């Protein structure tokens, strides 16, 4: 058999598979071939999107299910045996796999990350591929996991899901690294995983394996919202069965269960007798899992910290999307460095989290407004004479006209895109959330007249609003559409279908900002949710520029006053929120202090407010803010991809499918749909690139099609073949080049009315003759001469 003539897949089936099977690997249970471990980044272009390339490993070898230990990159026999090692090493870093192999069917190159003293890479014969036990024992030795108890912990099986669901690669990493840390005696552990990446599902798998070994028999799961407890118990944790699980309510303690769920505040109180957790002995729990641990559980002064201190003998695992690091609060001081981190940026790059656009809107009063001397507010209070700005608005000074402008812009956006797109408006406080609700109701009176709950206020003080929360988060429920809030929806609420997040609050904390962003990061591709938009009225998105922020937007747009709000096709603790009564406009909050009453908030109207403009900004592929025009930025990137016009034309003509070339450009940060909108011309991708990068005259598709018709090169073909080519040219003129590159083009109108695909191909000769004719047509279309 001539190895050189075999495909890569043939090499796998005839040489690599027999070699690893002979080494003792179970091909059904321990070996997975052609494993796609990312979904491919979502690339947004206007209202359209495409997926970037997903990452695929030729082989992943598992010691046990979901415990990956080796990766193999296969090549055909025309390539050297070590070809592909760099790609395999890149994948092994992502997957945290210690043993890396490449093979072309002649031998293996073995990269052994556990070999800290000898050669990292060596060539081995096909007969010498190591067994599962050999690799696993090397791994255990390197990580000091050879102790029988440690070995039992890290080798315990995952839960087998009957539905076929299994952890994503980063969830496997998080679970496996956590169990290894516990097996080595680490008792305080923190996992950092971006919102929307399945922290609770990850926690379940950790707890399941520890509980099954008997190492951790009684477990406490702490969260900060009742909805989360029920959702967790009945959802991800349901395999445990209700007999052993219990939600602690009303500080009533029942010690007959094994897995407990509780609110932080449900176990603590201001008085000693209210500290319900002390009814448990200090060593009652073996494991405490703290969900959303950034919420304050690491604060020295926090009552929640008291719970952790009390159960200090238990292993404690903190889960957070945003570890808090301030001079007063530090997750790292308490838990240590994260055993695993999966960031927002990585989630977006992998295609597991939704990317987002940003619309920045500035009003005419945002840089400052000063009252006239002796000016009174709506309720007769004299307004203190000073300059008020964004930091003051809706906290110490409310301007009705500014609230109305914000509501108009939100409504304008929804009307131009989707009036039923789930929207959260984050406000400064409950009073602001109420006034914003009123303004939005007035702007959407037509829908509110039919559906009273089109727009609702969801805050801690409002029982009706809180009752609507389940409907708002339900994928199947259309109403409510808009929710105004202050803090209640910042964290812990699974808002899968939110497509618009409005920032009308002065957010300074990166932690809070990431939590808010996380309300929109869920992807629901089947329901059309693949990206979301942030509308920023408070300059909060300046946080993007901070070094501790990760996960950049695909677009930042600052519309001019006369421009549409839709971007062009280019692309405090929630438990404190409801403690006070809602401020009533007829009786502004007053604090008694000193010799006279101090007004906490002024309410003014009759202030002219309009939208002003600065500029449009985008983020590039490197995650840095682009301050130049998209046209200049694209020109620079195109010049990096193509050295000259001739180079571009050659690559264009040689591309088997133009769509693949365009997708590749998109992955390199060149978004042609966005660019087309900015220059304001409906150009073919080819002409758009020639025009922007090489200053060529831009031709429309109609102009190009007419040039082909005038050349009359079709004359050499039969009458039927000419009709086919003319129809293909018409298709190009109407829909673009991608339409005629489809394999099924002969099955669509009007071509399918001319005859069967076989008959049409026969008019050219054989199938290769037809493909050649289509290629020639493309070259004629893009003839620069």
Average pLDDT, the chain: 86
What's the confidence (pLDDT) of residue 569? 61
pLDDT, one tens digit per residue, over 249-265 is: 888 899 999 999 998 77
The model's pLDDT over 544-554, given as tens digits with 9 standing for 90+, comes to 777 767 765 66
pLDDT at 331: 63
Distance of CA 556 to the CA centre of its chain: 17
Q: What is the pLDDT of residue 239?
A: 95
- Considering only 38-52, 163-177, 205-219, which range has the smallest mean pLDDT? 38-52
Q: Residue 588 has what pLDDT?
A: 42
Contacts of 487 (CB under 8 A, 6+ apart): 460, 572, 573, 574, 576, 577
Instruction: Report d(CA 444, CA 10) in Å as an integer.
Output: 62
CB 218 within 8 A of CB 255: no
Q: What is the pLDDT of residues 262-291, one digit of tens each?
A: 987 778 766 665 688 999 999 999 999 998
Whether omega before 131 lies within 30 degrees of 0, making that bond cis, reads no
pLDDT at 321: 84
Whole-angstrom distance, CA of residue 382 vs CA of residue 364? 23
pLDDT tens for 326-363 read 544 556 678 889 999 999 889 999 999 998 888 899 99
592 band by pLDDT with thresholds 50, 70 and 90: very low
- Report which listed range, 420-434, 531-545, 595-609, is most confident: 420-434
Q: What is the mean pLDDT of residues 738-748?
A: 82
Q: What CA–CA distances, in Å, run from 191 to 150, 159, 215?
A: 20, 20, 20
Q: What is the rounded CA–CA span in Å between residue 236 and residue 213?
A: 19
For 412, what's the count of Cα atoms within 13 Å in the CB-facing half-sphere?
A: 17
Q: What is the mean pLDDT of residues 213-227?
A: 89
What's the confidence (pLDDT) of residue 518?
Answer: 87
How high is the pLDDT of residue 81? 95
321 Cβ partners below 8 Å, 6+ apart?
Answer: 192, 193, 194, 195, 197, 199, 292, 294, 344, 514, 515, 518
User: Cβ(495)–Cβ(489) under 8 Å?
Assistant: yes
Per-residue pLDDT of 97-122, as tens digits, reads: 999 999 999 999 999 999 877 789 99
CA 770 to chain centre: 43
């Amino acid at each position: 058999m001539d190895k050189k003539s075999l495909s890569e897949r043939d090499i796998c089936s005839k040489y690599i598979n027999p070699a690893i099977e002979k080494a003792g690997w179970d091909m059904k249970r321990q070996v997975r071939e052609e494993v796609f471990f990312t979904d491919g980044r979502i690339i947004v272009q206007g209202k359209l999107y495409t997926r970037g390339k997903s990452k695929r490993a030729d082989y992943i070898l598992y010691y046990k299910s979901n415990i990956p230990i080796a990766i193999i990159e296969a090549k055909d026999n025309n390539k050297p045996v070590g070809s592909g090692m760099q790609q395999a090493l890149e994948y092994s870093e992502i997957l945290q796999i210690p043993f890396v192999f490449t093979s072309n069917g002649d031998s293996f190159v073995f990269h052994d990350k556990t070999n800290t003293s000898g050669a990292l890479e060596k060539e081995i014969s096909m007969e010498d591929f190591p067994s599962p036990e050999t690799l696993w024992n090397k791994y255990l030795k390197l990580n000091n996991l050879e102790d029988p108890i440690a070995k039992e912990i890290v080798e315990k099986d995952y839960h087998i899901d009957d539905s076929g669901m299994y952890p994503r690669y980063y969830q496997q990493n998080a679970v496996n690294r956590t169990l290894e840390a516990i097996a080595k005696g680490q008792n305080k552990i923190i996992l950092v995983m971006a919102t929307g990446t399945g922290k609770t599902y990850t926690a379940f798998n950790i707890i399941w394996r520890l509980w099954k070994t008997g190492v951790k028999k009684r477990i406490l799961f702490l969260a900060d919202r009742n909805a989360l407890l029920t959702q967790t118990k009945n959802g991800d944790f349901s395999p445990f069965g209700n007999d052993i699980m219990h939600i602690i309510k009303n500080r009533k303690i029942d010690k007959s269960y094994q897995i407990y769920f509780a609110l932080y505040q449900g176990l603590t109180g201001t008085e000693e007798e209210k500290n319900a957790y002390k009814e448990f002995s200090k060593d009652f729990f073996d494991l405490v899992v703290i969900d959303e641990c950034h919420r304050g559980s690491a604060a020295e002064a926090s009552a929640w910290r008291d719970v952790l201190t009390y159960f200090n003998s238990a292993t404690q695992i903190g889960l957070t999307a945003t570890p808090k690091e301030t001079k007063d609060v530090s997750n790292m001081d308490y838990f240590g460095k994260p055993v695993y981190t999966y960031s927002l940026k990585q989630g977006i790059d992998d295609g597991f989290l939704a990317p987002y656009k940003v619309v920045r809107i500035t009003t005419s009063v945002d840089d400052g407004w000063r009252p006239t001397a002796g000016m009174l507010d709506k309720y007769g209070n004299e307004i203190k004479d000073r300059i008020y700005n964004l930091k003051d608005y809706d906290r110490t000074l409310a301007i009705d006209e500014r609230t109305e402008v914000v509501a108009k812009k939100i409504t304008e956006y929804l009307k131009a895109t989707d009036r039923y797109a789930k929207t959260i408006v984050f406000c400064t406080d409950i009073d602001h959330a109420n006034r914003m609700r009123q303004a939005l109701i007035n702007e959407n009176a037509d829908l509110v007249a039919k559906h009273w709950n089109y727009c609702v206020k969801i805050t801690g003080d409002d029982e009706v609003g809180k009752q609507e929360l389940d409907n708002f988060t339900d994928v199947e429920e259309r109403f409510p559409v808009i929710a105004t809030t202050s803090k209640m929806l910042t964290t812990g609420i699974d808002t899968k279908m939110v497509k618009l997040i409005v920032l009308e609050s002065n957010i300074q904390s990166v932690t809070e900002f990431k939590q808010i962003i996380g309300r929109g990061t869920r992807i629901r591709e089947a329901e059309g949710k693949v990206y979301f938009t942030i509308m920023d009225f408070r300059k909060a998105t300046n946080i993007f520029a901070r070094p501790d922020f990760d996960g950049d937007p695909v677009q930042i747009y600052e519309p001019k006053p006369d421009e549409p709000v839709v971007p062009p096709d280019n692309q405090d603790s929630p438990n404190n929120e409801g403690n006070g009564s809602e401020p009533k406009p007829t009786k502004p909050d007053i604090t008694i202090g000193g010799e006279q009453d101090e007004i906490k908030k002024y309410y003014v109207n009759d202030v002219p407010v309009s939208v002003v403009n600065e500029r449009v900004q985008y983020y590039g592929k490197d995650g840095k803010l682009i301050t130049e025009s998209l046209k200049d930025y694209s020109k620079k990137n195109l010049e990096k991809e193509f050295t000259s016009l001739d180079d571009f034309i050659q690559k264009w003509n040689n591309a088997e499918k133009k769509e693949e070339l365009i997708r590749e450009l998109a992955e390199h940060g060149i978004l042609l749909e966005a660019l087309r909108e900015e220059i304001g011309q409906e150009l073919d991708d080819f002409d758009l690139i020639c025009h922007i990068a090489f200053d060529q005259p831009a031709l429309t598709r109609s102009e190009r099609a007419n040039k082909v018709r005038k050349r009359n090169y079709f004359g050499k073909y039969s009458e039927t073949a000419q009709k086919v080519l003319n129809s293909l040219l018409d298709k190009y003129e109407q829909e673009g080049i991608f339409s005629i590159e489809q394999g099924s083009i002969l099955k669509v109108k009007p071509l399918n009315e001319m005859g069967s695909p076989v008959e049409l191909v026969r008019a050219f000769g054989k199938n290769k003759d037809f493909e050649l004719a289509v290629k020639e047509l493309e070259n004629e279309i893009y003839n620069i001469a």
